[in-house]
Structure 1
Amino acid sequence: MAKFSIPLSERLPEKVLGFNGSMVLTIFILILICFLSRLMFRSVWIQKKVDRLEKTLLINIPGYSMIKSITADTLGAKSEELMKPVAIRDGDTWNIGLLVEESEKLCMVFIPDAPKYDAGEMRVVEANNVQKLDIPTKNFIKAIKTFGKGIVQHLD
Structure 2
Amino acid sequence: MSRSIDYGNLMHDAMRGLIRRVLSDVAENGLPGAHHFFISFDTGHPDVELADWLSDRFPEDMTVVMQHWFEDLDVDEDGFAITLNFGNNPERMYIPFDAIRTFVDPSVEFGLRFETQESDEAGEDGDDPLPPAGGDATPDQSGDKKDADVVRLDSFRK
Structure-1-length-normalised TM-score: 0.29
- Normalized per residue, the structure richer in helix is 1
Structure number with higher relative contact order (C-alpha < 8 Å, ≥ 6 residues apart): 2
- Normalized per residue, the structure richer in strand is 2
Structure-2-length-normalised TM-score: 0.29
Q: Compare CA radii of gyration and give the structure with the larger one.
A: 1
